[in-house]
Amino acid sequence: MPPKDEIPAPQRRRGAALETALLDAAWDEIVEKGYDGFTIESVAERAQTSRAVIYRRWATKPDLVRAAALHGMRREPASIPDTGSLREDVIALLKGANRTRARYGLLVLLQLNRYFAETGSSFADLREDFIGGRTTALAEIVARGVERGEADPARLTDRVVNVPFDLYRQELLMTLKPVPDEVIESIVDEVFLPLVRPA
C-alpha cells in the first residue's frame, strides 16, 4: 500500500458529473422506497454529499422527484426501428418498449401516485416534459410509412397516431406486466393499421 501522502485525493464531482450522480441516487431511492419513503436526506447519503448541494439545484422534494423521474427515462433511450415496413416498425417499437420501458412505466405508476396527487400532475405531464416538443419515435415511423404509401396522411390525427402506445399503456396498466407479443401484434393489425391505411 502506498504511503498515505501518495494516495490520490478523491476527485470532487462538479457540473454535469455531480448532477448525474445526484439524479442516479434520487432515482434509485424512488425505485427502492417510492415517493412516501423518499427524502432529501436519503438521497444525499446515497450520493455521498450534503443536503445543501441538493437544495441548491432542487428547492423541494417534488422538484427533485420530477427531475429524477425524467432522468430515469433518459437512462434507456429508445432506438427507432427501420425495417422498411410500417407494420414491422410499430411492432418492433412496442416490443422494444417492453424490454426497456415497461419496468420504468410500472415503477412510475406504482411508486409516484402520491407525487402526482401532491403536485396535481399526471404521468401524461411527465411524458410531455420528457418529449419536450421533439418528434416521437412513433411519429417518425408513421412519417416514413406515409412516404412509402403505407399510411394516408389525411387520416393521421394525433389521436390516431398515438393509438398503438395508448393501447399498449392501457394493457400495461391493467395487467401490471409487460404486454405479450400477441397482444402487441393485435393492437397493430386489428386497430392501428386499419385506421391509417389508404382507403
pTM: 0.76
Residue pair 83/92 in contact (Cβ under 8 Å)? The answer is yes
pLDDT band at 3 (very low <50, low <70, confident <90, very high): low
Alpha-carbon distance 24 to 90, whole Å?
31
In whole angstroms, what is the distance from residue 26 CA to residue 42 CA?
8
The per-residue pLDDT for 6 is 47
Q: Which residue, 32, 169, 142, is CA-closest to 85?
A: 142
- With the CA atoms of 64, 99, 180 and 111 taken in that order, what torsion angle do they form, in degrees rounded to the nearest 10? -20
Rg (CA), the chain: 21
pLDDT tens sequence across 38-79: 999 999 999 999 999 999 999 999 999 999 999 988 876 668
Tell me the CATH number for domain 11-73. 1.10.10.60
Average pLDDT value for residue range 84-88:
98
- Second CATH level (architecture) for the domain 79-196: Orthogonal Bundle (1.10)
Residue span(s) of the chain under CATH 1.10.357 come to 79-196
Residues of the chain with CATH 1.10.10.60: 11-73
The pLDDT tens digits of the residues spanning 89-112 come to 999 999 998 887 777 778 777 888
